[in-house]
Structure 1
Amino acid sequence: MTTATLPLKPITEDFKEAVAFALSQHEAARAFVAEVVEGGLRNVFLVGCGGSLTASYPVHFLLETRAGFPVFHMNSDEFNLRKPALLGEGSLVLVSSHTGTTKETVAAAHYAKSTGAKVAALTRDDDSPLAQAADIAFTYRSEDTVVAPKGVLFGQLAYALLEKTGVEGDYAAIRKAYEALPDALYTAQEEGEALAHTIATALADEPVTYVLSAGPNYGAGYGFTMCYLMEMQWKHGGSYHAGEFFHGAFEVVTEDQPVILFLGEDATRPMAERTRRFLDKYTRKAHYVDSRIFSLPGVPEELRGDITPIALDVFGTRLARHYESVRGHDLDKRRYMFQVEY
């Protein structure tokens, strides 16, 4: 039974500043992408580990559904060992690591460049090993605000790729929506506080929690499970695709099994709604994180599906803080990560 608690940490002080700094690199992203496209773009690879890999799920979905070129998404070490046959001249590799020191990701940048691919790094600082290994680095300069600016950096590159390769779209409207994100995502965190407290309080002592999500929101669910529940709270959790859930995993659901379901506003929402109908019927411990609770001022209705994956991912950071507070387990506490050789 949880008895220790910690004060709830506030929304990060530099949140709006970090997101705004990411937004300020919009023209640099467009110029870099224009150069890559003019040089003969053939494909795109999204490469990273942990939270830096989950951050690219929304743009993987975006590009796969709209782009005329193939897009690949994989763990850094698998990228290094798999040695994709299509990697080489004409490839653009977006590599991401918060610290810029993740050894597998730094190695991936070097390997990609050795094949003739262009490499862009998304990382905290422009003097990190990853930034130095890449052709260009897009940064956010914050230790505490990571998810939102990284989502913005990925998104700006993805929309530049779509625009520069001739995909039709209202890019002016998209840009306007992005410029609203410092305030919109801050407000979303405020709007989600009560829900985050409810979930953390209800599930603090549960032995196992399953987390479901789909489409561009899959990274939000997977990232919350692996990076926050398991890594930062030392709690058992499992993340499953809401569509795959009905092909095996749903057999573990009982009336006392906790499940968190993330629901977005994109084309895959029907999968999540089907899952919610099942959970409503078979467990009394289901909790729903529906992006419709976020007002997202400045984001037009028709573009919400493009923005809500970032909002859900940001909500996960606040939910983790509520777990930290309710359980008294500091998010920075580790057994193995950065503590031992691995």
Structure 2
Amino acid sequence: MTTATLPLKPITKDFKEVVAFALSQNEATRAFVDEVVGAGLRNVFLVGCGGSLTAAYPAHFLLETRARFPVFHMNSDEFNLRRPALLGEGSLVVVSSHTGTTKETVAAARYARSAGAKVAAIARDADGPLAEAADITFTYGSEDTVVAPKGVLFGQLAHALLERTGVAGDHAAIRTAYEALPEALYTAQEEGEELAHSIATALADEEVTYVLSAGPNYGAGYGFTMCYLMEMQWKHGGSYHAGEFFHGAFEMVTEDQPVILFLGEDPTRPMAERTKAFLDTYTRKAHYVDSRIFSLPGVPREVRGDITPIALDVFVTRLARHYESVRGHDLDQRRYMFQVEY
């Protein structure tokens, strides 16, 4: 049973400033995209590990559903070993690493450039091995506020690609939404505090928690399970796609099985709603994180579905802090990561 607790850490002090800094790179992003598209863009690869891989899920969904070119999303080491046949001149490879030193991702950037691709990096700082290996680096400069600016930088790049390649859409509304994000995402964290506390309190001592999500929100669910529950809280968790859930994993649900389900406002929401109906019937320990609880001030209603995946991902960071507080297990505590050779 959980006995020790830690004080709940507040929303990061630099949150609005860091998100605004990410937004300030939009013109540089558009200039880079103009260059890439003008040179003959053929395809896009989104490459990273862990949280940097999950941060790209909304951008991958956006491009895959609207772009006129193929887009691929994969782990850095798989990218290096798979050696995609379509990689080469005309490819844009977007690599991401918080520290800018993740060895697999640095290798991916170098491999991509050697194959003739253009490489854009997303990292905390504009120096280090990853920045040196890339053609351009977009940064956020914070150790504490990471998820939100990454979401902004990936999103700005994806929307610039869509606009520059002539994909129809309300690009003005999207820009209005992005400019509102420093305040909107900060407010979302405040609005989610009660829910985050209730989930962490209810599930702190559960042996295994299943986490379900889909579409552009899959990264929020997978990232919470992989990076926060397992890596940072040493708790057993399983992350499953809400659509795939009915093709095997749902057999493990009993009335005492804890499940967290993420619901967004994008076209894949019906999958999550189907899953919710099942959970309402067969377990008393279901917890729902529905993006509709976020007011997102300043975000036009018609483009909320493009923004809510970022909001859910940011909510996850607060949910992790509540687990840390309730369980007394510091998020920075590790057995292996950064501790041993692996």
TM-score, normalised by the number of residues in structure 1: 1.00
Unaligned runs of 5+ in 1: none
Question: Are 2:34 and 1:31 equivalent residues in the alignment?
Answer: no
Alignment deviations for residues 259-286 of structure 1 (CA, whole Å, 9 cap, x no partner): 0000000000000000000000000000
Corresponding residue for 1:17? 17
Runs of 4+ in structure 1 off by over 4 angstroms are none
Corresponding residue for 1:160? 160
Over aligned residue pairs, what C-alpha RMSD do you find? 0.3
**Range moving further from structure 2, 315-324 or 163-172:** 163-172
Alignment deviations for residues 32-62 of structure 1 (CA, whole Å, 9 cap, x no partner): 0000000000000000000000000001000
Corresponding residue for 1:173? 173
Supply the distance in 2 between the matched residues of 1:115 and 1:82 (Cα, whole angstroms): 13
- The one-letter code sitting in structure 1 at the alignment partner of 2:28 is A
Supply the distance in 1 between the matched residues of 2:301 and 2:283 (Cα, whole angstroms): 32
Corresponding residue for 1:322? 322
Matches within 5 A, 1:4-153: 4-153=4-153
Supply the distance in 2 between the matched residues of 1:308 and 1:172 (Cα, whole angstroms): 18
Supply the distance in 1 between the matched residues of 2:244 and 2:127 (Cα, whole angstroms): 41
Corresponding residue for 1:286? 286
Supply the distance in 1 between the matched residues of 2:186 and 2:128 (Cα, whole angstroms): 28
Corresponding residue for 1:261? 261
Question: Are 2:232 and 1:250 equivalent residues in the alignment?
Answer: no
Supply the distance in 2 between the matched residues of 1:243 and 1:186 (Cα, whole angstroms): 30
- The one-letter code sitting in structure 1 at the alignment partner of 2:200 is A
> Percent identity, aligned pairs only?
88
Tell me if structure 1 keeps the 8 A contact 2:176–2:300. no
- The one-letter code sitting in structure 1 at the alignment partner of 2:77 is D
Q: CA deviation at 1:188?
A: 0.1
Q: CA deviation at 1:255?
A: 0.2
Unaligned runs of 5+ in 2: none
- The one-letter code sitting in structure 2 at the alignment partner of 1:69 is F
- The one-letter code sitting in structure 2 at the alignment partner of 1:111 is Y
Q: Secondary structure at the match of 1:206?
A: coil
Corresponding residue for 1:235? 235
Q: Secondary structure at the match of 1:302?
A: helix
Supply the distance in 2 between the matched residues of 1:34 and 1:168 (Cα, whole angstroms): 17
- The one-letter code sitting in structure 1 at the alignment partner of 2:35 is E
Supply the distance in 2 between the matched residues of 1:132 and 1:166 (Cα, whole angstroms): 31
Q: CA deviation at 1:170?
A: 1.6
- The one-letter code sitting in structure 2 at the alignment partner of 1:258 is P
Tell me if structure 1 keeps the 8 A contact 2:220–2:309. yes
Alignment deviations for residues 57-105 of structure 1 (CA, whole Å, 9 cap, x no partner): 0010000000000000000000000000000000000000000000000
Corresponding residue for 1:333? 333
Q: Secondary structure at the match of 2:92?
A: strand
Q: Secondary structure at the match of 1:87?
A: coil
Corresponding residue for 1:221? 221
Supply the distance in 1 between the matched residues of 2:151 and 2:82 (Cα, whole angstroms): 26
Q: Secondary structure at the match of 2:192?
A: helix
Q: CA deviation at 1:173?
A: 1.3
Supply the distance in 2 between the matched residues of 1:166 and 1:131 (Cα, whole angstroms): 29
Corresponding residue for 1:186? 186
Supply the distance in 2 between the matched residues of 1:213 and 1:291 (Cα, whole angstroms): 12
Supply the distance in 2 between the matched residues of 1:256 and 1:180 (Cα, whole angstroms): 41
Supply the distance in 1 between the matched residues of 2:71 and 2:127 (Cα, whole angstroms): 28
Aligned residues: 342
Q: CA deviation at 1:108?
A: 0.2
Q: CA deviation at 1:300?
A: 1.1
Q: Secondary structure at the match of 1:188?
A: helix
Tell me if structure 1 keeps the 8 A contact 2:16–2:186. yes
- The one-letter code sitting in structure 2 at the alignment partner of 1:166 is G
Supply the distance in 2 between the matched residues of 1:272 and 1:217 (Cα, whole angstroms): 10
Supply the distance in 2 between the matched residues of 1:214 and 1:298 (Cα, whole angstroms): 26
